Amino acid sequence: MAEATYNFGMIGLGTMGRNLLLNMASHGVPVAGYDISAAQVALFEKEGEGKPVKGFTNLEEMVQSLTKPRAIMMLVPAGKPVDNVISNVKPFLKAGDIIIDGGNSHFTDTVLRDQALDSEGFHFFGMGISGGEEGARKGPSMMPGGDKEAYLTLKPIFEAIAAKVDGDPCVTYVGPGASGHFVKMVHNGIEYGLMQLIAETYEILRKGLQLEDAAIQQLFAKWNEGRLQSFLIEVTRDIFMVKAEGADHLLVNDIKDQARSKGTGKWTSQVAMDLEVPIPTIDMAVAMRNLSKYKSVRTEAAQLYGDKKPVLNVDQEAFLSDLEQALYFSVIVTYAQGLHLLTRASATYSYDLQLSEIAKIWRGGCIIRSTLLNDIYNAYKAEPNLENLLLDGQVSTLVQEILPATRSVVSTSLGAGIAIPALAASLTYFETFQSENMPSNLIQAQRDYFGAHTYELIGKEGVFHTNWMPLPSKP
């Protein structure tokens, strides 16, 4: 058996698992990794040459190489693979050892695993990890939730490897139970929304204004120097500089317009429906990824209805200024929707989430990191019980300033026949959010008419029902 000399173990040496371990090793933490693939193990040891790393293709040997209490993270695909790994590793562990699920597991699965492993004496927590390959290697944002004692044991390691913003590590204990995976799920939902908003902005620039690729690249580069500065704007800027191999045009123009997904956006929409929290920008982003998959149907429809060539007859300089404001407005609204979902989930599931701390750790390392998160952090730091970000005084001042431009961009683009579902959903959500009186009174009357579902009256206690059948007309 291997000598117990390593402080942390990893099951799964794919891109994320391998780079997280190399990150730890770079910070002086002796680490061991296991994978069924000998090639992955060899790659891990090659990349970790000169560092305190060891790879294994024998799971028991890897476990025996760890110091006690053993700490093992799984980075494998969500679902059944996680349960299989737990079943395979448990025989080699003892009560008091720590198991961490670092993948994108559905939070309901994490609840069941937490209960089962706790009953057997194991420490377990789920930890959302964001940042991709580069983040894992150089500093991710991490969202651990579950067994607090277990997290505190490993806190020095996670704080050492996390991204840093103003010297603060982008990791914090999120809360009990499955809260870590829930927060990561919502993070990914926000990510879906932001990506769709950027794609629609690209659609306006490409089709509506008919800008060349170089001009689009310059615009995203300019925006990334201002208040829209974020990882996603940054990568968009960079994408518009990469040419197809051996060609004189951009690679992005050769990529099929069929977006894939791994499910976390869908899960966000589903649980938001369960908790009765409106997140239409995120919902629309999920729907548009689904619609993109129907390429043949869309091609047939384009032939049937005529693939229009929308052109915006506008003052280009003024419109681009408005477009920047509209995108920024929609980004704010998307964060507001996701954070509102976290607020309701915290109350429903007793997570006791500190949204200021969540915003703080999202400022670096993760995919949705942005300059705006500093303002979001300040808003929730000043008012921890803020129910919706749009109710913050400073945010409301900003929103009111950019609202007219947003209305102009949405109406002009839709009028020209440009599809901007997420931008339009963001604006419509806000317009309804700020409406003291919605037309929902009519819906209640309709429900009572056909189903006797009753209704409430303004300024009057009780529940009421009316026989709505029309009175016979007089002769």
- Residues recognised as catalytic: 184, 191
Q: What distance in Å separates the CA atoms of residue 432 and residue 436, rounded to the nearest whole number?
A: 8
Q: What distance in Å separates the CA atoms of residue 258 and residue 250, rounded to the nearest whole number?
A: 17
Amino acid at site 33: G
Q: What angle do CA 460, 461, 462 make, to 5 degrees?
A: 120
Residue that is written with structure tokens 């209305």 in the block: 407
Amino acid at site 459: G
Q: What is the SS3 assignment for 262? A: coil
Q: What is the SS3 assignment for 215? A: helix
Q: What distance in Å separates the CA atoms of residue 134 and residue 231, rounded to the nearest whole number?
A: 12
Tokens of 83: 């349960």
Cβ(402)–Cβ(374) below 8 Å: no
Q: What distance in Å separates the CA atoms of residue 33 and residue 63, rounded to the nearest whole number?
A: 9
Q: Measure CA of the first residue to CA of the last residue in the chain; give whole Å.
A: 99
Q: What is the CA radius of gyration of the chain?
A: 25
**Count of CB atoms within 10 A of residue 398's CB?**
18
